[in-house]
Amino acid sequence: MKIAFLISSTGWGGLELNTAKLAKLLTDKGYSVTLISQEKSPIFLKAKNLFASTILINKRRKYFDVKTAKFLSNALKNEDIKTVIVFDNKDLDVIAWAKKIFFKNLQIVYQQQMQIGINKKDVLHTFRYHAINYWISPLQYLKNEVAQRTNFPINRVKIIPLCVDVKKFVPPKYSKDEALKALQIFPKAPLVGIIGRVSEKKGQLFLVEALLQLKQKGVALEVLIFGSATINDPESEKYYHRICEFVKQNKLENEVHFVPHQDDVNVFYNAVDVFVLASHSETFGMVTVEAMLSQLPIIATKSGGTSEILGNGKFGLLYAYENKNEFCEKLIWLLNNKNEMEKIAEAAQKNAIENYAQEMEVDAIDALIKSF
């Protein structure tokens, strides 16, 4: 069966990686997947080999790009493709015009990967959303947002989580000693880890500040920051230097370890004793699921999709964003109650295996496409 993925994003992060992963899974299931993107987009440059063919578009306008919509419609008809999955809300406008004017039988599935935020019940958003046949929300709270903030029919919203290759994390790829040796880190105290792009919204500095606060209370800890500043992003690079300066000023060089991003994330999960998510708000939070599969004690911000993934505290400890006192209290409790946290981590792993295995995601999307 022929389908197309529309993603013209110029980034290369979770959105694009999830899209590439789904393309491979659906291809393995027998689909012929065509990529619709821009010539200089990272997903075209890095992952076009995962797709059966490509349609390159040149989006000239953010809204009302009827010329591109016409070109896209003709290209889809020529390829005999009647179903398109859209991943970035910025692409909804052009695909809506394509369907409304040039290709009325086009079937559109939108996989939501960002929070809606503000109300979007205006005429323009309602027009775009009206073109969608099925809206996929990864979590219940996101489906609730659709009901509250849009005019989209709630009966056409399906909850299908973004999922993970369980075999990649279970059983562990490395022993703790092997992982630490690979990272060239030899901690003398429990190692608390945070993973992801170095950015103010990810909260690496918050964790280092909490480390200092705990050190002053006599709590021995070390921190692993696993990730890099975004290249050519002045704000990200400035934030990284702020962290380094804070570490230097407070003589934390022996307690804070920096490891640049690498594709093998297992080495991070298998090395740390505690996983921390300090983000302002994660729409879904794949790293939280990965930490659950790695059977790690988790302490995370009570925001976004994290609370739902962690069962509102059943599978990990939650604290209010940037509340350092609460974070430190929860972390001290975690360190002092290892047996209880091991039971919580075991339950978290079991829950992640049951609910976030990638086979479940691809089977649910396959069934949705075949329902047309």
Domains of the chain by range and CATH?
2-163+357-370 (3.40.50.2000), 166-355 (3.40.50.2000)
pLDDT for the residue numbered 97 = 97
Helices (H), 106-175: 123-130, 140-149
pLDDT for the residue numbered 147 = 97
pLDDT for the residue numbered 304 = 87
Cα(299)–Cα(277) distance, integer angstroms: 7
pLDDT for the residue numbered 206 = 98
pLDDT for the residue numbered 362 = 97
- Residue 118 amino acid letter: I
pLDDT for the residue numbered 281 = 87
pLDDT for the residue numbered 117 = 85
pLDDT for the residue numbered 320 = 97
Q: Which residues of 203-234 are buried (b: 16+ CB within 10 A; e: fewer)?
A: bbbbbbbbbbebbeeebebbbbbbbbbbeeee
CB 274 within 8 A of CB 284: no
Helix (H) or strand (E) holding 327: helix 324-336
3-state secondary structure of 85: strand
Helix (H) or strand (E) holding 277: strand 274-277
Low-confidence ranges of the chain (pLDDT < 50): none
DSSP state letters, 21-83 = HHHHHHHHTT-EEEEEE-TT-HHHHHHGGGSSEEEE-----SS--HHHHHHHHHHHHHTT--E
